[in-house]
Amino acid sequence: MVSTIFAFINAAIIQGIPLLYGATGEIITEKSGNLNLGIPGIMYIGGISGIIGGYLYEHSTDNPAALACILIPLICSLAGSSLMALIYSFLTITLRVNQNVTGLALTTFGMGVGNFFGGSLLSFFGESGSISLITTGNYYKASLPFADKLGLFGKTFLSLGFLAYAAIIIALLTSYFLNRTRMGLNLRAVGENPATADAAGISVTKYKYLSTVIGGAIAGLGGLYFVMDYTGGAWTNNGFGDRGWLAIAIVIFAIWRPSTAILSSFLFGGLYILCVYIPGLSSSAKELINMLPYLVTIIVLVIISMRKKRENQPPAHLGLSYFREER
């Protein structure tokens, strides 16, 4: 029984890591006033870019080196998701296209691109079957050396790959950045009231671009973690599922706080796989349980809008384009 509970906690954390990356990335983006609904697509791109990089490297050498196995997919993933976020930024910030439409288009696009390359990458090289980068996957999955020696605790909390710990560190750093630094203050100002920020000499465009691109890159790492660590280097079409949307739901659930997003992600990760751990469920009951994360998000939304506490509201200028007042 105890071991089942720990196994569940371990699984919840593993499920939560991609969500945490997505949520942290989206929080940074939303703090600048950009509602990037392209995050699910960006996470797909983050995953498939890593796969492509890893595949090309593994394909080109007989003895893949550990460092290259980690760095090449990592850099490819960051580049792919940043590019997606850059497209979003150019459309919404420079051309002032509607943010929702742009985001949804990018999500559809990203999923399509992911599935296209995931399904046909091997055939480009005359191979058949499905992608499986076991060597790269194993490097990503490598756990801390002393994890085995610490019993149940080590197994549950220390057996994760490095990207899992990085996710938590990035979330904590983001929290520090937003609340304790001058640039964080400026960024929050841009999301709250860009006209005021502009008048105070802050470059609204620069902050919006940077936060959206960096946020997109962080979210993309969630996709990379999923394909390299969680599935061990294998790609299945639509395997990432609706985790991207769940990440956006966590942003609301955590009321735009990256530190709160950490535990929220693990909670949502737990709810996501809860049905596996409850024995004897009918398939309809499973679907109901899978609905829980979204239900909880709706309840949180209702509560924060009822309490009307100003600090808990979304950035005031979220989803709107900024036009400098001119006469």
Give the binding site for other proteins (CB under 8 A): 180-182, 185-186, 188-189, 192-193, 195-197, 199-202, 310-311, 313, 316, 327
In angstroms, rounded to a whole number, what is the distance separating the alpha carbons of residues 36 and 209? Answer: 12
In angstroms, rounded to a whole number, what is the distance separating the alpha carbons of residues 64 and 325? Answer: 56
Q: What's the token pair of residue 143?
A: 């756990």
Q: Would you say 140 or 256 has its CB closer to other proteins?
A: 256
Cα 186 to chain centroid, rounded = 24
68-89 core/surface letters (b: 16 or more CB in 10 A; e: else): bbbebbbebbbbbbbbbbebbb
Shortest gap between Cβ of 313 and other proteins (angstroms)?
8
Shortest gap between Cβ of 256 and other proteins (angstroms)?
11
Shortest gap between Cβ of 189 and other proteins (angstroms)?
5
The pair phi, psi for residue 132, each rounded to 5°, is -150, 105
Q: Would you say 136 or 174 has its CB closer to other proteins?
A: 174
Q: Would you say 132 or 312 has its CB closer to other proteins?
A: 312
The pair phi, psi for residue 234, each rounded to 5°, is -105, 145
Q: What's the token pair of residue 228?
A: 């390299």
Shortest gap between Cβ of 161 and other proteins (angstroms)?
34
Shortest gap between Cβ of 100 and other proteins (angstroms)?
19
In angstroms, rounded to a whole number, what is the distance separating the alpha carbons of residues 168 and 129? Answer: 35
The pair phi, psi for residue 231, each rounded to 5°, is -100, 0
Query: Which residues neighbour 88 within 8 Å (Cβ) at sequence distance 6 or greater?
Result: 34, 36, 38, 102, 103, 106, 212, 216
Q: Would you say 35 or 74 has its CB closer to other proteins?
A: 35
Q: Would you say 78 or 197 has its CB closer to other proteins?
A: 197
Shortest gap between Cβ of 191 and other proteins (angstroms)?
10
Q: Would you say 66 or 101 has its CB closer to other proteins?
A: 101
In angstroms, rounded to a whole number, what is the distance separating the alpha carbons of residues 206 and 208? Answer: 5
Q: Would you say 192 or 242 has its CB closer to other proteins?
A: 192
Shortest gap between Cβ of 202 and other proteins (angstroms)?
5
Q: What's the token pair of residue 298?
A: 């709706």
Shortest gap between Cβ of 186 and other proteins (angstroms)?
6
Q: Would you say 149 or 308 has its CB closer to other proteins?
A: 308
CA dihedral of 148, 153, 15, 122, whole degrees rounded to 10: 0
